[in-house]
Amino acid sequence: MVLSNTPFSLAADHPVPDPAGGITAWGKPVNGLQAGLRCPKGRQSIGPKKDDWVDLEIVIRNVSDEPNRFKYLPDVCYIGENKHGTVEVGGIYSGNGRFSTANIQPGDEMRLGAVCIRYAPAPVGSGGGTHLRPGKYQVGSDGVTMGPDAKSPKLGTGYLDIELREQKKNR
């Protein structure tokens, strides 16, 4: 299901089933790594209760034939910004400034963090997560930063369709 006419329909971006029953939208590989945005099973449509939300994971995987060693920032908080129905996910650093080193074997995955998408029936405001009004959105990232400087690769995820349902009116 495509929710808007956006340039995110390349083959690498199409969501694929997750072994745990969810769905992952993978981006294009860069330097043998591929970033994805993962939604738990049955959570692509949420709401309309005030406390309904979904935690989407930011994951990476090694798509090369060799072990892949890289540096990354731990403790990054991911948030999303709604731009006309597309929620662009970005990181806000909240850690101690020290990079960690990971070594991922071919075919293995690693969780980098999560972004919480929340239903916001009243004014969109503060609190943990990205607050959105009812509607249909595409959620993803054009670039998850992976390394210690501006020259480090950025991995784009694919985009997932997420719906925040309207409250049914009593008749």
Round the average pLDDT of the chain to a whole number and report it. 77
The confidence score (pLDDT) of residue 144 equals 79
pLDDT of residue 76: 72
Distances (CA, A) of 103 to 18, 23, 34, 145, 157: 22, 24, 14, 17, 20
* C-beta of residue 103 within 8 angstroms of C-beta of residue 69: yes
Enumerate the domain spans of the chain. 16-164
DSSP 29: -
- For 85-133, what is each residue's pLDDT tens digit? 888 888 766 666 778 888 889 999 988 888 888 876 544 444 556 778 8
Q: Which of 71-75, 92-96, 123-127, 166-170 has the highest mean pLDDT?
A: 71-75
At residue 51, does pLDDT exceed 80? Answer: no
Taking CA atoms, 12 is separated from 9, 24, 76, 79, 118, in Å, by: 8, 11, 25, 23, 27
pLDDT over threshold 90, residue 34: yes
Q: Alpha-carbon Rg of the chain, whole angstroms?
A: 16
Q: According to the per-residue pLDDT averaged within each range, which of 21-30, 68-77, 109-118 is highest?
A: 21-30
